[in-house]
C-alpha cells in the first residue's frame, strides 16, 4: 500500500486559513483491495485525526507526542 497527500493552505483573512487536503491511496495486495472499500471510513477518520493534531500544533503549540 502507498498513499499520496497533497495539502494546500489558502489565506482567507489575516487570521483565517483554509486547509485543503487531497489524499490518494493505492493498494498492492488482493486482500487489501477487497477490504479497502469497507475501510474507507477508517482512512478518512485517521486523516481527520492527523489534521486535528496538526491544527492543535499550529494554533496552540500542542505537541501530540507528549499527550497522554
pLDDT in tens, 6-40: 999 999 999 899 999 998 888 888 888 888 888 88
Q: What per-residue confidence (pLDDT) applies to 35?
A: 85
Q: What per-residue confidence (pLDDT) applies to 52?
A: 93
- pLDDT band, residue 67 (cuts 50/70/90): low
Domain span at residue 56 reads 2-66
Q: What is the pTM of this model?
A: 0.70
Total domains, the chain: 1
pLDDT exceeds 70 at position 62 = yes
* Best CA proximity match to 4, nearest among 27, 19, 30, 22: 22
Confirm if 39 and 45 have CB atoms less than 8 A apart.
no
- pLDDT band, residue 68 (cuts 50/70/90): low
Amino acid at each position: 500500500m502507498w498513499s499520496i497527500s497533497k495539502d494546500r493552505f489558502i489565506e482567507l483573512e489575516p487570521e483565517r486559513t483554509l486547509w485543503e487536503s487531497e489524499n490518494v491511496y493505492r493498494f498492492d495486495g488482493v486482500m487489501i483491495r477487497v477490504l479497502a472499500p469497507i475501510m474507507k471510513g477508517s482512512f478518512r477518520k485517521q486523516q481527520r485525526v492527523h489534521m486535528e493534531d496538526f491544527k492543535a500544533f499550529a494554533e496552540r503549540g500542542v505537541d501530540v507526542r507528549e499527550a497522554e
